[in-house]
């Protein structure tokens, strides 16, 4: 397989791996602070074995990076981190199956997080199915990506003093052009 052919396949694999609801939550937490499987298990109220399995899947797909291996009770504990630059942005023309899975996982995660919405807090909900110039679309995608990366870079670990818990989800994509409307 050529490097050009391997890149879309790797993107698809990363998208599919991230599409698992628990893995998506793990990536969200890893954006704020490095975690071991034990720490993530505690934060997510799951078993250490489940956390370890899902971390291996994320790491194997290149979604997260191994930050360090530290000694712990005669063994070794792996600590992982997440950097938004590692996250795939599906290449033009790439198979959309992975993106579909990821979009569905994001929609489910928004529904889950909505249950924890802080009453009276500022919020923003945006939805659009619009026609724009290609340059305007690219500018919007770049601005949203930049804002997301900026927030990821500034994220802190759960319950860090002086922080608030927020939700940020986005799925941006160009749509197909429907057939022209028939004249009456």
Band of residue 6 on the pLDDT scale cut at 50, 70, 90: low
What average pLDDT does the structure give for the chain? 85
Q: How confident is the model over 35-72, as pLDDT tens digits?
A: 999 999 999 999 999 999 999 999 999 889 999 999 98
Percent of the chain with pLDDT over 90: 45
Backbone φ, ψ for residue 70 (5° rounding) = -120, 150
How confident is the model at residue 181, as a pLDDT? 81
Rounded Cα–Cα distance for residues 64 and 87 (Å): 8
CATH class, 3-117+124-154 region:
mainly alpha
How confident is the model at residue 74, as a pLDDT? 86
Tokens of 2: 């050529």
How confident is the model at residue 182, as a pLDDT? 75
Tell me the chain's radius of gyration from C-alpha atoms.
19
Band of residue 13 on the pLDDT scale cut at 50, 70, 90: confident
How confident is the model at residue 7, as a pLDDT? 56
How confident is the model at residue 136, as a pLDDT? 96
**Any residues with CB less than 8 A from the CB of 68 and at least 6 apart, and which?**
34, 78, 79
How confident is the model at residue 131, as a pLDDT? 93
Q: How confident is the model over 92-135, as pLDDT tens digits?
A: 555 577 778 888 888 988 999 999 999 999 998 888 889 999 99
How confident is the model at residue 1, as a pLDDT? 47
Average pLDDT over residues 13-21: 84
Rounded Cα–Cα distance for residues 166 and 29 (Å): 11
């Amino acid at each position: 397989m050529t490097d050009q052919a391997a890149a879309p396949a790797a993107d698809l694999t990363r998208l599919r791996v991230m599409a698992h609801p628990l893995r998506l939550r793990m990536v969200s937490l890893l954006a704020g602070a490095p975690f071991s499987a034990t720490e993530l298990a505690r934060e997510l109220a799951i078993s250490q074995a489940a956390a370890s399995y899902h971390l291996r899947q994320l790491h194997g797909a290149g979604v997260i990076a191994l930050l360090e291996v530290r000694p712990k009770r005669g063994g070794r504990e792996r600590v992982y981190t997440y950097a938004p630059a590692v996250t795939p942005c599906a290449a033009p023309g790439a198979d959309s199956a992975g993106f579909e899975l990821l979009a569905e996982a994001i929609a489910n995660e928004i529904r889950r997080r909505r249950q924890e919405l802080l009453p009276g807090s500022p919020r923003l909900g945006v939805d659009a199915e619009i026609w724009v110039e290609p340059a305007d679309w690219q500018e919007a995608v770049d601005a949203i990506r930049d804002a997301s990366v900026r927030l990821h870079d500034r994220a802190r670990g759960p319950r860090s003093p002086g922080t608030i818990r927020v939700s940020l989800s986005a799925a941006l994509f160009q749509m197909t052009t429907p057939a022209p409307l028939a004249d009456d």
